[in-house]
Structure 1
Amino acid sequence: MEHVCHYKEGATNLLCALPFRKDPQLQVDFHTGRDPTSDIAFHFRVYFRHSVVMNSLQDGKWREDVKSSKMPFEDGKPFKLRFLVLDNEYQVIVNDEHCFSFTHRVPPSSVKMVQVWRDVLLSSVDVC
């Protein structure tokens, strides 16, 4: 799923989803362009049962990964995932619990599209 948008401090995205296979993955990319090959201000990838990886793609090059072994996601269980844009970072809230933070490397105002993909079924998306 792709959504064209313009981000600023205070913006939020809420995704309600269900993983649909064993050992699934989830990826959410905040692109600086309207093309899936554009740079990524914030890359959020979940390897269920393993880890969460956050990064940015700038000038076509991946920067240093920020990894966490914290795993609030479970195979086969629905979840609510909220991204909150603050002045200095993205906050990631899973099932109403703050779980991850990612310091801005690219201004959130440059985000033009959000792409959600991999092994989840979206039941709702709310962009504010």
Structure 2
Amino acid sequence: MALLPVPYTKHVSLSVGSSVKIKGTSAMPFSMDPDMQVDFHTGNEINSGIAFCFRVYFGPNKVVMNTRQGGIWGDEETSTVMPFEDGQSFELDISVLAKEYHVSVNDAQCYHFRHRIEPGSVKMVQVWRDVSLTSVIVA
């Protein structure tokens, strides 16, 4: 299967009931401290606001979730739950619910993040950093 370009961007329109499914693998061994970031942008440029930032630090086993409004980052929410496995492919599913995002990895619910910015304002999804992508599907 052909790999998608990274950084990968896709123009979207999200609403309650939408989901973003990302399939891929870390582009390097976890011992090299790779990371992956998924941003739900409120504009069509990478410097726009971010309604949801999901960043995985594979090596240190940490996930950080946040928002960015007016160029200013909010308070980080962190987790040390690490369902990603070194050298293994993953399926990341971010579901838009009425009050929060639910994030599952390989069909296991792992994280949640309350909306700070209306998900209907999301116009672009970007997936980037040290990741190889095989698909990104918005439904």
Unpaired runs of 5+ residues, structure 1, are none
Structure 1 segment 55-94 matched on structure 2, within 5 A: 55-94=66-105
- TM-score (norm: length of structure 1): 0.97
Q: Which residue of structure 1 aligns with residue 19 of structure 2?
A: 12
The separation in 2 between residues aligned to 1:35 and 1:18, in whole angstroms, is 25
Q: Which residue of structure 2 aligns with residue 116 of structure 1?
A: 127
How far residue 122 of structure 1 moved from its aligned partner, in angstroms, is 0.7
Percent identity for Structure 1 against Structure 2 = 48
Structure 1 segment 26-105 matched on structure 2, within 5 A: 26-49=36-59, 50-105=61-116
Unpaired runs of 5+ residues, structure 2, are 1-7
Which amino acid is 2:82 matched to?
A: M
Which amino acid is 1:2 matched to?
A: T
CA RMSD of aligned residues (A): 0.7
Runs of 4+ in 1 over 6 A off after TM superposition: none
How far residue 94 of structure 1 moved from its aligned partner, in angstroms, is 0.2
Equivalent of residue 3 in structure 1, options 5, 10, 13: 10
- TM-score (norm: length of structure 2): 0.90
